[in-house]
Amino acid sequence: MTGSTRPADRAVPVEAAPIVLVAHGSRDPRAAAATRALVRAVAAARPGVDVRAAYLDHAGPRPGAVLADLQAAGYPAATVVPLLLTEAFHGRVDLPEVVRAARRDGLRMPVALTDVIGPPLAAPTVDPLLVAGLRRRLAASGADCDAVVLAAAGTRSASARQTVALAAAALGADLGLPCLAGYASAAPPTAGEAVRTLQESGARRVGLAGYFLAPGLLYDTAVASARQAGVVAVAAPLAGASEIARLVLRRVDQVAVAVPV
């Protein structure tokens, strides 16, 4: 999604535009710390680019305020990256409305909105960088697994859950192991139920991969559910993984920002 352009507009190199990473936000301070770590990783991977964090809820600053600050600083355009693993309500509705509200409040700077970090609904394919990050986090947990549960936050959107199942299938194919999705909220099965399903199918060492960008209440809920079911290892969330910083920049490079000549 881009801001309105005119025929006389020209494309600005994506590497020159500031990047705003928009996370959901959480009352848990670990979540904001993880987002700041990702901001630093993206900035280190693209020297000279202004990379900032914004939050839809709980923590601040809000995306509209960050975009206004960038415009006031003289930047001609910006790219917004949703730090979301599913394109559910926040990705489809909230973020586009945030940009529209910023325009009603006086934002004139063109803004490009990238796809989410997970598989986008319009073209649901799992980026190999996402799979690599999940696999590396699972390996760091010390897991010696014969099956894996991909634990996600959960959503009422059936189409968004299908993209989680797609990510689970991609991770399982990469590992050569059975892999099921489990959720912390909003939809079955829970992470613990997914662990038990795999155990009933003969698995003895089920590991938990975290389909989360940051720790928080829902990650802790999924982990607790899986531990109660006898999971043998738990992977950390993805934020801070080098693969995710590279995936953010891949999303940035897939869009173009147009600014007036």
- Does a structural domain hold residue 52? yes
Tens digit of pLDDT for each residue in 60-82?
A: 799 999 999 999 999 999 999 99
Q: Are the C-beta atoms of 150 and 181 separated by less than 8 Å?
A: yes
Take residue 128 and report the two structure tokens written for it: 């190999």
- Residues 138, 50 share a domain: no
Mean pLDDT computed over every residue of the chain: 87
Query: Residues of the chain whose pLDDT is less than 50?
Result: 1-10, 14, 258-261
* pLDDT score for 15: 52
Describe the crossing of helices 128-140 and 158-175 by its angle, rounded to 10 degrees: 60
Tens digit of pLDDT for each residue in 102-113?
A: 888 888 989 998
- Residues 135, 104 share a domain: no
Indicate the number of domains in the chain.
2
Take residue 236 and report the two structure tokens written for it: 């950390």
- Residues 22, 57 share a domain: yes
- Does a structural domain hold residue 255? yes
Full residue range of the structural domain in which residue 195 is found: 128-234
- Residues 183, 98 share a domain: no
pTM: 0.85
Return the CATH number at 27. Answer: 3.40.50.1400
